[in-house]
Structure 1
Amino acid sequence: MSKTEFGKGCHLHLIDGSAFIFRAYHALPPLTRKSDGLPIGAVSGFCNMLQRYVEGNHGPDAPTHVAVIFDKGSHTFRNDMYDLYKANREAMPEDLRPQMPLTREATHAFNIACEEKEGYEADDIIATLAVQARAAGGRCTIISSDKDLMQLVGDGVEMYDAMKNKRIDRDGVFEKFGVFPERVVDVQALAGDSVDNVPGAPGIGIKTAALLINEYGDLESLLDRAEEIKQPKRRQTLVDKRDQIELSKRLVQLDEKTPLDFTLEDLEVRDPDPDKLLAFLAEMEFRTLTKRIADQLGAEAPTITDKVAPEAEAVTVEDIPFDATKYECVRDAVALLKWVDQIREHGWVAVDTETTGLNEMIVDLVGISLCVRAGTACYIPLTHRDGSADDLFGSDELAEGQMPLNEALDILKPVLEDPAILKIGQNMKYDSKIFKRYGVSVAPIDDTMLMSSAMHAGEHGHGMDTLSDRYLNHTPIPIKPLLGSGKSAITFDKVPIDEATAYAAEDADITLRLWQHFKPQLHRAQVTTVYETLERPLVPVLAEMEMHGIKVDREVLSRMSNAFAQKMAGLEAEIHELSGETFNVGSPAQLGEILFEKMGLEGGKKGKTGKYSTGADILEDLATEHELPRRVLDWRQLSKLKSTYTDALQTHINPDTGRVHTSYSITGATTGRLASTDPNLQNIPVRTEEGRRIREAFIPEPGNVLLSLDYSQIELRILAHIAGIDALKQAFADGLDIHAMTASEMFDVPLDEMTSDIRRQAKAINFGVIYGISGFGLARNLRIPRSEAQGFIDRYFERFPGIRTYMDDTVAFAKEHGYVQTLFGRKIHTPEMSSKGPRAGFAKRAAINAPIQGTAADVIRRAMIQMPAAIAHLPARMLLQVHDELLFEVPADHVDETIDVARCVMEGASDPAVKLDVKLTVDAGQGANWAEAH
């Protein structure tokens, strides 16, 4: 077919493909293809938008040429220019990923040109084509609302916002930027762009930038004459940040000379081929759209069968029974390659590993299970050993009928690493670390445990057995009968392969069914953003931190253990002297007799065994008035430090790495806080000198230092924002000592007369209120009488009435809706709000605290997710997260640069999702050990 030369009278339409796709994805509920469960919601919306576009573009102003322009990939020449460009962009939702190539197919099916280019953004292609069209004497309409494209408007180029049905000409650009198109780039260079991570000039926004450009004419003149500016801060910014501003201009300037392998003539409008278009729509199973377009084209609509494939039906035991006899044991490459073909055909696979234990840093891989369709799963045994479970003389030789481990991994590695294939797991962090140790980097992933947590935090646990029972009405095959218990327990490699196949393949089957059950519900529960931005992206970040670990000095721990033992002996002597007799301080029964029978203290309660209770709460009450229980509490704390940390930490040092590798549970707390286990590094006490000393054992490698960055009073800042406490907001804005300010407000003590004891009391109240502390609890913390403690709390609420209002409103919301919510949308369910007695008080305090603690947890999660990209150019590693603190290891000569980058990420972590009224600030410290750094 001959092509019409593009020139005068021609009208080019350039459609921003990404804008169409993301509009379709976010505007519509999730949709899956009935025959196989493939996500197609965005494709459906995209096709409807294309159809409306084609239908509405006729008449004298219709296009003669048209193309849909897409982004080819995430890395472009701008990333080479500035490695942090778009570094803060959220990862693409996993259910959108497989739909991207289908939108290209849809464009071709409509017989519209579809163009993209590696290394360049869609905007660059659009800019090049618009300039070419203008130069040829034709017109160009850019169908997009992207502000970056507004620099092209004028002289025959205009924009059209299809969502608002609004045309954007030069005046429209001026309305947006305060300058005409030819100066848009100058304004953007100054204002920067938080979405694309263009730095710009700190403190200068769009309005100020426009004023400056209009006054000085252009950016270069402004920068050359910056010394003339009267405002000192603005003048200094323009002088100091000139290089950054000029870089920003290069980043936002579109490349109008992008090398293209097609011409304007290739974009001529073409009628769709009815057979090709209807075949595609039928393949997608878009019944309504297929019929509508068939009617418009005067063609017969193809038949779309109503038969639904088993895997896409509602996943219940009744519909697809669990049948372990149907699971396949894959013993050779031929069988495994068939599974690989199925995985590629579906675009996803549920995967699970079986290992010789739970410590993913030292266990061996025993087998891998896969599932692509509910009810159809396999197990690949790899390192099972000869001999039965009860055979004392069983061989260590590999059992027969297994593939060589390396051969299986070589076959699976391409699909496990393929960015177009979704890997689904239950607690995928564990499996990804196992694979990583064997040289396989699993991505992208979905995690059913995290989906459950996003939707059901506070309602129930998120382990596989719980989820299977609750949502699939199926009790999984138990592991205990396979492994045994006690001294006779075996590891999974000693389990017979036939028995292992049923157990392991079922795990993958359950995981896939849970995924099919949960995935569509994320949107309906309005937690898709929580899952996509706070849960799933954290998995690879934590996995890398855990695998790297932190170095621990065994000798320091050993010396501490000895010192703690000596101090405990001294405390025992004091306790014996106070009691008037020798007894076993570690025996609750003997302690109870001393306190409540010999000394006659009040508050003694006997349990079912007839012994007195001497728990921490009892002793803390007694310690407000008596010395002996105080000493016992001190002894217990030292005992715990010795057994839990200085002794136990030595056993956690990995013999191969010399480092401790803690494991973080993403679902460890309903509020979103991480929990640390094996060993627990979150609960090292820091309120006492002895507890702080534990951190002295954590050290860097030679030549490095440990660097601690810690949010300053983040929960109080969030409380000030959420509860709207103007006095607290102002105090933070003024940089005041918040605890001293609170003490001054409550106790009418001038700041210059503040004592450390009064400040300490105010600090305890400040933090206690966040946790809904009672007069009893504050009395224990401060070791003061309850009446005095309650008086402090009453006075606090009188001085800051907004806090009481926040508490009351939060409790009322929780009772009405059954959950509370963080500022980022995380839901924490509160099923105990209707309880009676002590549980009701606990539920109420938890509901009050959850939005505050949860928001703080979300903020540091966002910081952690952004951090790897931000420090990628530095020889720095993020090692640990402990509540509001991040710990890094970095060469001594890169400390300052790392602090600048990490602090910027942490202080801006809430943006742009949540704009806090109170600025987040981060304290930084460094040292030869963790104690020095923090």
Structure 2
Amino acid sequence: MAFGKGCHLHLIDGSAFIFRAYHALPPLTRKSDGLPVGAVSGFVNMLQRYVEGNSGADAATHVAVIFDKGSHTFRNDLYDQYKANRDEMPEDLRPQIPLTRTATKAFNIACEEMEGFEADDIIATLSHQARDAGGRVTIVSSDKDLMQLVGDGVEMLDPMKNRRIDRDGVFEKFGVGPERVVDVQALAGDSVDNIPGAPGIGIKTAALLINEYGDLETLLDRAEEIKQPKRRETLIEKRAQIEMSKQLVQLDCNMTLDFTLDDLEVKDPDPEVLMGFLAEMEFRTVTKRIAEKLGVDAPVIEVPAKEDTAAPPEIVEFNADNYECVRDAEALQVWINMIRERGYVAVDTETTGLNEMIADLVGISLSVEPGSACYIPLSHKSAAWDDLFGSDELAEGQMSLDACLEMLKPVLEDEAIIKIGQNMKYDAKIFSRYGIDVAPIDDTMLMSYAMHAGLHNHGMDVLSERYLGHQPIPIKPLLGSGKSAITFDRVAIDDATKYAAEDADITLRLWQTFKPLLHAKQVTTVYETMERPLIPVLAQMEQNGIKVDRDTLSRMSNAFAQKMAGLEAEIQEKAGRPFNVGSPKQLGEILFDEMGLPGGKKGKTGAYATGADVLEDLATEHELPGLVLDWRQLSKLKSTYTDALQEHINKDTGRVHTSYSIAGANTGRLASTDPNLQNIPVRSEEGRRIREAFVADEGKVIVSLDYSQIELRILAHIAGIDALKQAFRDGLDIHAMTASEMFDVPLDEMTPDIRRQAKAINFGVIYGISGFGLARNLRIPRGEAQGFIDRYFERFPGIRAYMDETVAFAKENGYVQTLFGRKINTPEINAKGPHAGFARRAAINAPIQGTAADVIRRAMIRMPRAISDLPAKMLLQVHDELIFEVEKDSVDTLIDRAREVMENASDPAVKLDVKLAVDAGQGANWAEAH
């Protein structure tokens, strides 16, 4: 049929389909010759679903898949840096690109590309031609660059979210209509395509400007009128760059094409051609499915059925309406049978809160295949709209909690069934409180952490959007916020089912995506030896908790308040008048207006900046800023610890139960929250006093084992510093030895002050400290501090060599590694500007700090078995320190065994040149033990 009124053209963004398929699925190779075909498999699945869904009144009459041909286009001639920062195409994707064209043709769908032009330009030209001919157009893509085409019969369809994008959708994205999208993009630029735009102007500001002035040309002609000086100067000085940027983002709607709209008419595939292609690719599962749809016999593909289990999961769209609400034992048994048949299940719990020690179980969700999931409501309350406080009666249509857990317990504890979770430690602790020991487990959060540390966080929403192209149902509309917020047990069961079951569905899909990638990214050993086995160890420590004496905390709060009052008086005396020491605004006025100290900078509010970095700089020249820092430290200790810790004491156990995040820091260090017990200052008198409140139960003792200077020992090994290695072997005071080497002072003439300076440099160098930083730490002039650092590198040249080599490796590879193979990604390492220094220091420090973190993880994983027959519990980990509670008669045995585990934790994986040493202490409280 000739294209005209009543026709509907679908234009599919081929590159988006390819990259979606490549990144969403595990690697797959053709069995006969090892050719990578994972992206082709996903692409074929997506095309097949498109063909099956193209029906009904809104179906396409004409369709084409549009591809990019080559990387050089007219835009590169206009601007040679266009898309210059794009990563190279992955090697295993390159041979799959032509196969996706062949796949398109095998489905008898038009496949179009043109040398020198991007797919977007072809889509733009076809959209205009179809609209002018009186037809409708749907662009199947979520690419923001295509949004300039929307309107007058042209719309977009985001295939991953199944969401249509019309004029309102474009306005929501850009703050302007489609006809002004190009103007906004020209101003905002695009870091992905390396389009410069106007520096400092983002999408929101660009939209405001375009809406105010009407269009880009008018804005640039009237730029002198802009009130903000920086913005005005940018628009005037960068006019040529902005105008060029507009040319780069403007799509070509008038290309000369070597085909017509009539050539794009929808046609049925030729079964013989399509079956032949699928058989050639050796796609057994999809071949069989498509053959059934076409009503033909599937060709026999000579590939062993056993090997075909490596085929990637098919891309199944998310549809919350498909999820099942399990309300009785009969329905649950069907799921249990499926779980036993599969040998794995994704599990998620819904509870009344985030604190696993006190939250109640509300429901459980399960998934065994993508797109199929269920939710088992257990303790939802009935809706009582006439009751201001809600009803405590259980809603109808729920299994009894005991009956459900009795059925699930054998499955959750079955060694032959893998239980998959996202942050599985939380769910395992919830089940543990109901007498269920969940094992074995896999954790998608930790899989991501092992592969992607340093790139992004590892929460489910981030992972789902990034790796599945799906935005999960948000929790906030269900629970509300502020004073009107409700707990999950008061959410309607139908709404809860969609939300909770989707979590299990997402978790299963992430597992199927990540599990094969662990091997491809060479982090299987890290995940299997240092991430997964740590989950039950930490869960047990968190449940053990540590006893805290409320009276001791209360007395300390009063003492801190008195000391703060004394400091306030001293500060006000040096300032020459009373003022509120806790007010940054008043402090800024005192320091910079009245005392005339240098370096005052005002922020947007007109107040001076008085952050810790500012005060630390000033403290090298004047006494008052140092006193304010001391006052702030006390204030923080009082509010964060001596006051707040009392609120964290569990009323049932009398203990504080911190929660450890395994994926909390890029380097492998654990993070502690609710409360954070890792930030109590160890070197200050006040910090030591807070530790007095952490006490042992009657008849027991607190024991602390602490690695001695582990990061310096690892530095000596990694950087090959012979002088440091020998000093450790000889048992010398390492800081005194460093001071002696640097300042030519004999060890027997060493003063505490000189040793303190050397200690600050020793630890500072590990963190890539600058002259600025050391000056702040020691409160000495910057020039003197830089002189110390220069002298240090002269004396230990191997350290400088290690730093340079590490940074060079990071720049070339995009990551650094610990001695145990943990990868820490360094995406900012090639950045310019203020980020560069931070990224460089992080890259230098990560292999050292990360290796130390790996060592203590290995020790913690081995510890439960080593002390299993002792009346002892491991309670806390604070970076390089492990804290135990043990009966008095077993203290020495515990110390001997724990020390042996810790000192040999690197074996057999890594043989360190410098032996690890562990200091041990004991006492009635943590302060005495450490």
Give the TM interval when normalised to the shorter protein.
0.5 to 0.7
Alignment partner for residue 732 of structure 2, among 715, 732, 736?
Answer: 736
Query: 1:635 aligns to what?
Result: 631
Query: 1:626 aligns to what?
Result: 622
How big is each residue's C-alpha offset from its partner over 1:470-489, in whole Å with a ceiling of 9 and x where there is no partner? 00000000000000000000
- Alignment-mate amino acid for residue 703 of structure 2: L
Tell me how far apart the structure 2 counterparts of residues 390 and 577 of structure 1 sit (CA, whole Å).
Answer: 61
- Alignment-mate amino acid for residue 625 of structure 2: P
Query: 1:827 aligns to what?
Result: 823
Query: What is the Cα deviation at residue 776 of structure 1?
Result: 0.4
Query: 2:902 aligns to what?
Result: 906
CA-based RMSD: 2.2
2:467 maps to 1:471: yes
Query: What is the Cα deviation at residue 302 of structure 1?
Result: 10
How big is each residue's C-alpha offset from its partner over 1:408-438, in whole Å with a ceiling of 9 and x where there is no partner? 0000000000000000000000000000001
Provide the secondary structure at the position in 2 that maps to 1:378.
strand
Tell me how far apart the structure 1 counterparts of residues 609 and 714 of structure 2 sit (CA, whole Å).
Answer: 38
Alignment partner for residue 398 of structure 2, among 384, 399, 402?
Answer: 402
2:708 maps to 1:712: yes
Tell me how far apart the structure 2 counterparts of residues 800 and 429 of structure 1 sit (CA, whole Å).
Answer: 44
- Distance verdict in 2 for CA 1:906–1:408, change over 3 Å: same
How big is each residue's C-alpha offset from its partner over 1:513-569, in whole Å with a ceiling of 9 and x where there is no partner? 000000000000000000000100000000000001000000000000000000000
2:27–2:312 CA contact under 8 A, matched in 1 = no
1:311–1:373 CA contact under 8 A, matched in 2 = no
Alignment partner for residue 378 of structure 1, among 334, 354, 374?
Answer: 374
2:791 maps to 1:817: no
Tell me how far apart the structure 2 counterparts of residues 388 and 516 of structure 1 sit (CA, whole Å).
Answer: 42
How big is each residue's C-alpha offset from its partner over 1:153-175, in whole Å with a ceiling of 9 and x where there is no partner? xxxxxxxxxxxxxxxxxxxxxxx
1:907–1:920 CA contact under 8 A, matched in 2 = yes
Query: 1:159 aligns to what?
Result: none
How big is each residue's C-alpha offset from its partner over 1:436-455, in whole Å with a ceiling of 9 and x where there is no partner? 00100000000000000000
Query: 1:796 aligns to what?
Result: 792
Query: 1:669 aligns to what?
Result: 665
- Alignment-mate amino acid for residue 439 of structure 2: A
- Alignment-mate amino acid for residue 639 of structure 1: S
2:600 maps to 1:572: no
Query: What is the Cα deviation at residue 391 of structure 1?
Result: 5.5
2:497 maps to 1:511: no
Query: What is the Cα deviation at residue 835 of structure 1?
Result: 1.2
Query: 1:47 aligns to what?
Result: none
1:549–1:879 CA contact under 8 A, matched in 2 = yes
Tell me how far apart the structure 2 counterparts of residues 436 and 897 of structure 1 sit (CA, whole Å).
Answer: 29
Provide the secondary structure at the position in 2 that maps to 1:569.
helix
Tell me how far apart the structure 1 counterparts of residues 707 and 766 of structure 2 sit (CA, whole Å).
Answer: 16
Query: 1:877 aligns to what?
Result: 873
Provide the secondary structure at the position in 2 that maps to 1:709.
strand
Provide the secondary structure at the position in 2 that maps to 1:832.
coil
Tell me how far apart the structure 1 counterparts of residues 784 and 840 of structure 2 sit (CA, whole Å).
Answer: 23
- Distance verdict in 2 for CA 1:792–1:648, change over 3 Å: same
Query: What is the Cα deviation at residue 394 of structure 1?
Result: 2.4
1:387–1:393 CA contact under 8 A, matched in 2 = no
How big is each residue's C-alpha offset from its partner over 1:29-61, in whole Å with a ceiling of 9 and x where there is no partner? 999999xxxxxxxxxxxxxxxxxxxxxxxxxxx
- Distance verdict in 2 for CA 1:853–1:497, change over 3 Å: same
- Distance verdict in 2 for CA 1:472–1:307, change over 3 Å: farther
How big is each residue's C-alpha offset from its partner over 1:776-825, in whole Å with a ceiling of 9 and x where there is no partner? 00000000000000000000000000000000000000000000000000
Provide the secondary structure at the position in 2 that maps to 1:834.
coil
Tell me how far apart the structure 1 counterparts of residues 543 and 599 of structure 2 sit (CA, whole Å).
Answer: 49
How big is each residue's C-alpha offset from its partner over 1:204-223, in whole Å with a ceiling of 9 and x where there is no partner? xxxxxxxxxxxxxxxxxxxx
Query: 2:607 aligns to what?
Result: 611
Query: What is the Cα deviation at residue 686 of structure 1?
Result: 1.1
- Alignment-mate amino acid for residue 914 of structure 2: V
Query: What is the Cα deviation at residue 692 of structure 1?
Result: 1.2
- Distance verdict in 2 for CA 1:554–1:390, change over 3 Å: farther
How big is each residue's C-alpha offset from its partner over 1:692-713, in whole Å with a ceiling of 9 and x where there is no partner? 1110000010000000000000
Tell me how far apart the structure 2 counterparts of residues 314 and 751 of structure 1 sit (CA, whole Å).
Answer: 65
Alignment partner for residue 896 of structure 1, among 884, 892, 899?
Answer: 892
- Alignment-mate amino acid for residue 883 of structure 1: H
Query: What is the Cα deviation at residue 315 of structure 1?
Result: 4.8
2:453 maps to 1:457: yes
Provide the secondary structure at the position in 1 that maps to 2:692.
helix
Query: 1:358 aligns to what?
Result: 354
- Alignment-mate amino acid for residue 922 of structure 1: V
Query: 1:341 aligns to what?
Result: 337
- Alignment-mate amino acid for residue 624 of structure 2: L
Matches within 5 A, 1:26-41: none
Alignment partner for residue 840 of structure 2, among 837, 844, 847?
Answer: 844
- Alignment-mate amino acid for residue 562 of structure 2: Q
2:625 maps to 1:651: no
Tell me how far apart the structure 2 counterparts of residues 650 and 896 of structure 1 sit (CA, whole Å).
Answer: 32
Query: 2:414 aligns to what?
Result: 418
- Alignment-mate amino acid for residue 645 of structure 1: Y
Provide the secondary structure at the position in 1 that maps to 2:891.
helix
- Alignment-mate amino acid for residue 324 of structure 1: A
Provide the secondary structure at the position in 2 that maps to 1:735.
coil
How big is each residue's C-alpha offset from its partner over 1:296-349, in whole Å with a ceiling of 9 and x where there is no partner? xxxxx9987999999986457xx3010111100000001001100000000000
Query: 1:437 aligns to what?
Result: 433
Alignment partner for residue 696 of structure 2, among 682, 696, 700?
Answer: 700
2:552 maps to 1:556: yes
Query: 2:40 aligns to what?
Result: none
- Alignment-mate amino acid for residue 647 of structure 2: T
Query: What is the Cα deviation at residue 591 of structure 1?
Result: 0.2
1:388–1:495 CA contact under 8 A, matched in 2 = no
Tell me how far apart the structure 2 counterparts of residues 851 and 389 of structure 1 sit (CA, whole Å).
Answer: 58
How big is each residue's C-alpha offset from its partner over 1:659-696, in whole Å with a ceiling of 9 and x where there is no partner? 00000000000000000000000000112101111100
Query: 2:849 aligns to what?
Result: 853
1:652–1:660 CA contact under 8 A, matched in 2 = yes
Tell me how far apart the structure 2 counterparts of residues 508 and 463 of structure 1 sit (CA, whole Å).
Answer: 14
2:655 maps to 1:691: no
Q: Percent identity?
A: 80
Tell me how far apart the structure 1 counterparts of residues 552 and 328 of structure 2 sit (CA, whole Å).
Answer: 51
- Distance verdict in 2 for CA 1:464–1:388, change over 3 Å: farther
Provide the secondary structure at the position in 1 that maps to 2:614.
helix
- Distance verdict in 2 for CA 1:513–1:33, change over 3 Å: farther
2:777 maps to 1:781: yes
2:28–2:310 CA contact under 8 A, matched in 1 = no
Provide the secondary structure at the position in 1 that maps to 2:828.
helix
1:388–1:496 CA contact under 8 A, matched in 2 = no
Tell me how far apart the structure 1 counterparts of residues 817 and 356 of structure 2 sit (CA, whole Å).
Answer: 34
- Distance verdict in 2 for CA 1:303–1:768, change over 3 Å: closer
- Alignment-mate amino acid for residue 505 of structure 1: A
Query: 1:446 aligns to what?
Result: 442
Provide the secondary structure at the position in 2 that maps to 1:363.
coil
Unaligned residue ranges in structure 2 (runs of 5+): 1-25, 32-281, 285-298
Q: Report which stretch shifted further, 306-315 or 570-579.
A: 306-315
Query: 2:277 aligns to what?
Result: none
Query: What is the Cα deviation at residue 836 of structure 1?
Result: 1.3
1:880–1:888 CA contact under 8 A, matched in 2 = yes
Query: 1:480 aligns to what?
Result: 476
2:583 maps to 1:587: yes
TM-score by length of 2: 0.67
Query: What is the Cα deviation at residue 654 of structure 1?
Result: 0.3
- Distance verdict in 2 for CA 1:401–1:309, change over 3 Å: farther
Query: 1:57 aligns to what?
Result: none
